[in-house]
Amino acid sequence: MSSTTREKEVINLVMRQTDYTEEEAVDRLKKWNNNYINVIKEYLNPNFDQPTQKSKPKTLNQQMMGEIRQFMDDVYVKFENRKKYNQYINVLREMHQKKQEEKKKNAETLSDTEMVGATVAETAAETAPKIKIEEVE
């Protein structure tokens, strides 16, 4: 097998594995000193020959402190979410209490026949199940 046949086969190989034209394949092969593997690697990942920066391994103490810090951050975020939720619930309770007071005031002004219908509706609302909510201080 002559060197020209081998060169043609290498160029064809590079062209099959990439979308380079014949001229581009020859240029890349010259750049990589006829190493077709590096030409294909460069096509797939242009930065393959640059060294990757490896992170310095952490000591056991650093790993433990990192885990504790992450755990405490999660606890704090969950605490803040519960606190906001309970504030929201307290606002809803206050609004509900105001509505109940308004209903009582309105009920006092209603006539006797209207009052009987209103009390039936109120008793139906009071028998509905209530949700127990914890408060965080």
Q: Say whether both 38 and 67 belong to one domain.
A: no
Maximum mean pLDDT: which of 56-60, 68-72, 121-125: 68-72
Same domain, 114 and 84: yes
Q: Identify whether residues 83 and 117 lie together within a single domain.
A: yes
Q: Cα–Cα distance between 51 and 40 in angstroms, integer?
A: 18
This prediction has a pTM of 0.39
The answer to whether residues 64 and 40 belong to one domain is no
Give CA angle at 92 (86, 96), nearest 5°: 140
Q: Whole domain around residue 99: which residue ranges?
A: 60-126
Domains of the chain: total:
2
The residue to which tokens 């014949």 are assigned: 22
pLDDT digits over 62-83, tens only? Answer: 999 999 999 999 999 999 999 9
Same structural domain, 64 and 122: yes
Query: 88 and 122 share a domain?
Result: yes
- pLDDT at 1 exceeding the cut of 50: no
Does residue 69 share a domain with residue 100?
yes
Q: Is 45 left (phi over 0), alpha (psi -120 to 50) or beta?
A: beta
For residue 11, count CB atoms less than 10 angstroms from its CB and return exposed for 0-12, middle for 13-18, buried for 19 or more.
buried
Between 48 and 70, the more confident residue is 70
Residues 65, 24: one domain?
no
**120: Cβ contacts below 8 Å, ≥ 6 apart:** none
Per residue in 94-112, pLDDT (tens digit) is: 999 999 888 888 877 765 5
> What percentage of the chain reaches a pLDDT higher than 70?
77
